[in-house]
Amino acid sequence: MSDPVRVRFAPSPTGYLHVGSGHSALANWLVARRTGGSFLLRIEDTDVERNRPELVDNVLEMLEWLGLTWDEEPVYQSQRGELYAGAAARLVADGAVYFCDCTTEAVQARNKEAGGKPGYDGFCRDRGLEPGPGRAARFRTPREGRTAWTDLVRGEVSFANADLEDFVVLRGNGHPMFLLANAFDDADMGITHVIRGEDHVNSTPKYLLLVDALGLARPTAFAHMPLLVNEGRKKLSKRRDDVSMADYRARGYLPEAMVNYLALLGWGPADGVEVRPVAEIVAQYRLEDVNASPAFFDQKKLSFVNAEHIRALSTDEFLARSRPFLTRGEPAADALASLAAEVQERVRTLAEVEPMIEFLVDDEPAVDEASWTKAITKGRSVPEMLDATIARLEALGPDDWTPEPIQAAVSQAAVDAGIVNAEGAPQLSKAQGPVRVAISGRSVGPPLWESIAVLGRTRTLARLRATRHQVG
């Protein structure tokens, strides 16, 4: 019987959690949940100059928001220095490392002079230097053979040992490098599957050499997830691209939609149905089905997936999820409740909800200039349409102030204004523009008839008259 699956997400808190890290975390979590294994969290906070407590907090908060809960207490590398020192001492005792006092500048100068390839040239390999301040410990990489593994995403991967430089495992100040702490911790935590980004492929042979040199058990499997790229097919950049997970939350993306979309990057369900509940993704997700090619992070598709998940909410849940995005409190909440079904059908994110119902909250609608120019300034027969609409709506009694009679009245107003097709039928697509902008200030929003019904007779007619006055 095989050992239970144990996977880990091991972020370095030198920046806020971004979609690339979220993608790796999700792959680990999905594998753990599908197999009944354990999802562990390890904070690799050994970079004392760049790590900050608020960045750790952000990682934890964003994982919780996504629903990627971990199964054991988080492990913090900053608290495990003695363990790494012990591992390093074993490497020194076994002659697996040597000490080096070369500066980066010296290595670069020698490489330039020799016309050789970049990287460390092995200058101190046989100098026999003793440990001391400013002397780093380098791993004595074998010069023969190959280091290989079977990758669940990439298949057989192999590196010639001769192509690997003697890499640093201890800095000159005695602090462990990432590779040493990473390899030791995976073995110590019983990690069976190492699932991480493609950018770690080149470090994996070094990882395996370290594991072997320490006499530790190799993980059962590796999987290097595809690179996430932008529209220009360049790697997503925290400086250049919109990648912050917290920003997506603030803009009204649902966590289940984000999980759904991230899962689709490099993977697709066998039945081709992409938008689905997280539980169904868990049941179908397999690393062997992940494509190794770079995956395009398409924000338009993310918004589409988010809109679909919003539409799948019950009305009560939609109202509850929208409330944190309503800056105007109860008036906005009441306004939304009156048009909940119509708004829910049209928004892509929860941050779009309040702008859609502001015309119900404000005494006067805030006017979108582009909408005004298109519908009023450049609109067809605008004065005639406004005059006719006012007259037709004034004729409606209180009991008729409902969507269907309102639609009929505006349709007849279009005929009155001459906005008709060749058969004399009203062209509502052209006639509605001035009316919509007059009552809401925007060219897009909830259905016009329902909006007018909720806005009420008095406010609707007042806004139509005010706009007509502006038109002159």
Same domain, 208 and 108: yes
Q: Say how far apart CA 170 and CA 76 lie, in whole Å.
A: 18
DSSP 37: -
Tell me the pairing of strands 193-197 and 168-170: unpaired
Q: Alpha-carbon torsion 14, 15, 20, 22, what sign?
A: positive
pLDDT tens, position by position, 361-387: 999 999 999 999 999 999 889 999 999
Q: What share of the chain is helix, strand, coil (3-state, %, to 5)?
A: 50, 10, 40
**Is the distance from CB of 452 to CB of 432 less than 8 angstroms?**
no
Tell me the pairing of strands 136-139 and 97-100: antiparallel
Q: Say how far apart CA 470 and CA 379 lie, in whole Å.
A: 14
How high is the pLDDT of residue 1? Answer: 46
What is the secondary structure of 233-291 as a DSSP string?
S-B--TTTS--BHHHHHHTT--HHHHHHHHHHTT---TT---S--HHHHHHH--GGG--
The pTM of the full predicted model, rounded to 2 decimals, is 0.92
CA nearest neighbour of 410 among 441, 447, 364, 374: 447
In a domain, 380, yes or no: yes
Same domain, 88 and 221: yes
Above pLDDT 70, what percent of the chain? 100
Same domain, 391 and 350: no
Same domain, 399 and 377: yes
Same domain, 207 and 98: yes
Tell me the pairing of strands 75-76 and 38-43: parallel
Burial class from Cβ neighbours inside 10 Å (0-12, 13-18, 19+) for residue 56 reads middle
Task: Tell me the mean pLDDT in the region 215-233.
Answer: 95
Same domain, 194 and 277: no
In a domain, 148, yes or no: yes
pLDDT tens, position by position, 58-105: 999 999 999 999 999 999 999 999 999 999 999 999 999 999 999 999
How high is the pLDDT of residue 237? Answer: 82
Burial class from Cβ neighbours inside 10 Å (0-12, 13-18, 19+) for residue 166 reads buried
225, 253, 268 — which closes off a domain?
Answer: 225
Residue type, 31: V
Same domain, 348 and 378: no
In a domain, 309, yes or no: no
The contacts of residue 401 (CB under 8 Å, 6+ apart) are 453, 456, 457
Would residue 238 show up in a list of annotated catalytic residues for this protein?
yes
Residue entry with tokens 């190959």: 146
CA nearest neighbour of 168 among 111, 210, 126, 220: 210
How high is the pLDDT of residue 241? Answer: 77
Task: Tell me the mean pLDDT in the region 344-360.
Answer: 97
Same domain, 68 and 84: no
Residue 274, domain extent: 6-75+228-302
CA nearest neighbour of 290 among 236, 235, 229, 224: 224
Catalytic one among 206, 234, 235, 238?
238
Same domain, 425 and 436: yes
How high is the pLDDT of residue 380? Answer: 87
pLDDT tens, position by position, 14-24: 889 999 999 99
Residue entry with tokens 């897009």: 444
In a domain, 123, yes or no: yes
SS3 at position 104: helix
HSE-up (13 A, CA, CB side) for residue 26: 31
Q: Per-residue confidence at 112, pLDDT binned at 50, 70, 90?
A: confident
In a domain, 47, yes or no: yes
Token reading at 18: 């971004």
CA nearest neighbour of 191 among 170, 159, 220: 220
Residue entry with tokens 């593994």: 149
In a domain, 308, yes or no: no
Same domain, 43 and 111: no
Q: How many domains does the chain have?
A: 4
pLDDT tens, position by position, 164-203: 999 999 998 888 899 999 999 999 999 999 999 999 999 9
Same domain, 409 and 459: yes
Which CATH number characterizes residue 289's domain?
3.40.50.620
The chain-wide mean pLDDT, for the chain, equals 94
pLDDT tens, position by position, 271-295: 999 999 999 999 999 999 999 999 9
Token reading at 455: 């806005």
In a domain, 307, yes or no: no
Task: Tell me the mean pLDDT in the region 136-160.
Answer: 97
For the chain, the residue count is 472
